Amino acid sequence: MLTRRAALLSAAATALILAAPIPSRAADDLKLPRQKVELVAPPFVHAHEQATKQGPKIMQFTLTIEEKKVVIDEKGTTFQAMTFNGSMPGPLMVVHEGDYVEVKLVNPASSSMPHNVDFHSATGALGGAELTLVNPGEEVTLRWKATRTGTFVYHCAPGGPMIPWHVVSGMNGAVMVLPREGLTDGKGKPIKYDHVYYVGEQDMYVPRDEKGNFKSYDSPGDSYTDTVEVMRKLTPSHVVFNGKVGALTGKNALTAKVGETVLIVHSQANRDSRPHLIGGHGDYVWETGKFSNAPETGLETWFIRGGSAGAATYKFLQPGIYAYVTHNLIEAVELGATAHFKVEGKWNDDLMTQVKAPSEIPPANTH
Amino acid sequence: MLIAFKLKLALACAAGLAGPLAVAPLLSATDTRGGALVVEQAMVQVHAGALSYRVAGDFTRGGKQAAAPLRTIVFEKPLAIMRRQVSAADYQACVDDTACRALERGVAVAADRPAVQVNYHDAVNYAGWLSRKTGAHYRLPSDEEWAFAAGSRFKDDGLPVDEDDPSKRWIARYERESERKPGSSAPRAFGSFGINENGLADVAGNVWEWTSTCFVRGALDGAGNSVSSKANCGVRVVEGQHRAYVTDFIRDARAGGCAVGVPPDNLGFRLVREPLPLMSRLSAGLGRALHAPRS
């Protein structure tokens, strides 16, 4: 039953596991400083320099896999989630071009399945997936060089039909590789941000029973057959930001002040999306997420290709509540893909004013 | 017919003023001709009294957004209102009798759970059917009546109005609506959200209740008196943890997209009854007698 590929995978994984506790020869040869980064759960992003004068470093991250049952909407619908570090999406990892990214992937013994990780920002071995497959109770360390700038998706890709299932079950996240000199408008003007938020969009496929109610399962394995049947219809039951309906609204709404610039990183590991800030715009938008291309400016809606992450900045000019949605409004309103920004500051009458409040239509002038 | 109705009201008024103000729970099963078992719900009587009430709707003063006026409403007679919301099983009896639209699939038909995912018309249809079956007059409460019965669970939704900065009001409203109690929106057994001081169960729990009050846009003068108002009855006031305005055919109020706010978890209802059945029958008889010579 042991296929050649599986044997290779397991051999590779074993080799890495054996090597992991002892820094490898290559790492010694790098003679670079190391920086250990504590990741934080989205929509927040770990502290980082927007531009750096330091030389390249080895940036160390740990991703711990967590399979768990979560609630994904206000109706109490449950979902068998598979996660990196317990959140959907997994955390955003920020490094600079030329840094080495060293990721320890831990699959606790409590997991029910093998997992791995494919970094779209990495070069070779299926983005590292071939070198990172870990069974429950195993861990592996992978290092890759950040040679390209931009925002990139990472996701679990453990082979065959497991791939899409693990991705839409929550095993997706993003990496942001910043140019060492920071973001620019493509003409040399630096672009800075006061806040960065990571919005991870995810399509979910929860099976229903014969009455039309969402089903609940005891384990990922129990949910598999029914879930794949729903997935194959390509019609999600939920499309959400950050793991559940309402994860970024109400008390969890994103915040900013008038005059502040936010950078919004938006990833979708599986399906196309079209972010739109209702009442605002995209000042500088890297629609494909790659900072070696000049950003587009002044956009109303931008497109995130399935399997990519994009980035947009916006300087808030007006206070109030803004909705950040995917502008397929059926998905935004009916399926959940809505976030809110709460922006405080001073209203600008020049940009907008209600000239006349709603009142009855006056009688027609008969003259 | 109109005379009879007015007389009913007058008699109810008299009965209310003269009658005992004790809680009058009534739970009786009436076998109807249609075969459906009509359960008359336990009612509570809210004592006559006064209420400080923030008028529902949007108001302007001098063409600018203004706070809704605060009024004192006097209830000169007690208010008979259902102790709990209409249950899914109660509502199903009306469906079985072909007088009400079916519940959404997924709403459990249970005697101990509220009928949810019902719209304004469903509630009105149910009230009409229950009135026909019982001979009493059931109807939705007005927003004032709901607030009066809700007592301390009614929240004044007055907001600071800054004429120069509309965003302050939006943010204040958003923050207040976000204060809602955490928890699942799944309907829970009656009594799960407690009993208020007037004896009503589950007021401002996770079911918002339809009222008969229409959305009003009004203009105020400098003293806060209404100078004009226009009602849009395609949108009705629903009450619960916060006051909301919901289009009458909506069964499941959702937010998202442009509607930046927090929607009601569920839409259900409870009814008021007027007058007391005995007086109703009496007045109906009297009404017929008075009406007869004219026809």
Question: What residues in A contact B265, CB-CB < 8 Å?
Answer: 74
Question: CB within 8 A of A277, min separation 6: which ones?
Answer: A314, A322, A323, A324, A341
Restricting to B residues 78-137, those with a Cβ less than 8 Å away from any Cβ of A are 105-106
B61: enclosing H helix or E strand: strand B58-61
B268: enclosing H helix or E strand: strand B267-268
Locate the chain B residue with the closest alpha carbon to A275: B257
The 10s digit of each residue's pLDDT in A183-218 is 999 999 999 999 999 999 999 999 999 988 999 999
Q: Do strands A34-36 and A58-71 pair parallel, antiparallel, or not at all (unpaired)?
A: parallel
Residue A248, amino acid: L
pLDDT at A12 over 50: no
Q: How many other C-beta atoms can be found within 10 angstroms of the C-beta atom of residue B57?
A: 21
Task: Look up residue A106 and give its two tokens.
Answer: 């831990």
Cα A3–chain centre separation: 33
B209: enclosing H helix or E strand: strand B208-220
What gap in Å lies between CA A303 and CA A310, rounded to an integer?
A: 8
Q: Which residue has the higher pLDDT, A357 or A316?
A: A316
First to last CA, chain B: 10
Q: List per-block mean pLDDT (blocks of 10 residues) for chain B, which spans 295 residues.
A: 36 34 41 55 94 92 86 94 97 97 92 96 97 95 97 88 83 83 82 96 95 94 85 92 90 59 87 72 52 41
Looking at residue B284, its pLDDT comes to 53
Catalytic residue, chosen from A238, A266, A276, A340, is: A276
Interface of A to B at Cβ within 8 Å reads 71, 74-76, 211-213, 249-251, 253, 278, 318-323, 325, 329, 332-334, 336-338, 340, 342-347, 349, 354, 356-360
Residue B120 φ/ψ, nearest 5 degrees: -60, -45
User: Which of B60, B167, B255 comes nearest A357 by C-beta?
Assistant: B60
User: Does the reported pTM lie above 0.80?
Assistant: yes
Is the ipTM value over 0.90, yes or no? no
The DSSP line for A193-211 is -SEEEEEEEEEE---B-TT
What gap in Å lies between CA A60 and CA A93, rounded to an integer?
A: 10
Looking at residue B197, its pLDDT comes to 96
CA distances from B266 to A111, A332, B186, B263 (A): 37, 20, 8, 9
Question: What residues in B contact A340, CB-CB < 8 Å?
Answer: 174, 260
Question: What residues in A contact B167, CB-CB < 8 Å?
Answer: 318-321, 343-345, 347
What gap in Å lies between CA B192 and CA B110, rounded to an integer?
A: 15
Q: Do strands A92-96 and A138-145 pair parallel, antiparallel, or not at all (unpaired)?
A: unpaired
Q: Do strands B79-82 and B70-75 pair parallel, antiparallel, or not at all (unpaired)?
A: unpaired
Looking at residue A105, its pLDDT comes to 98
Looking at residue B186, its pLDDT comes to 87
Least Cα distance to A65 among A120, A24, A106, A36 occurs for A106
Task: Look up residue B61 and give its two tokens.
Answer: 């003063």
- Does B185 lie at the interface with A, CB-CB under 8 angstroms? yes
Cα A146–chain centre separation: 18
Looking at residue B288, its pLDDT comes to 47
The DSSP line for B171-212 is HHHHHHHTTSPPS--S---TTTT-B-TTS-BSTTSS-EEEEE
What gap in Å lies between CA B177 and CA B12, rounded to an integer?
A: 38
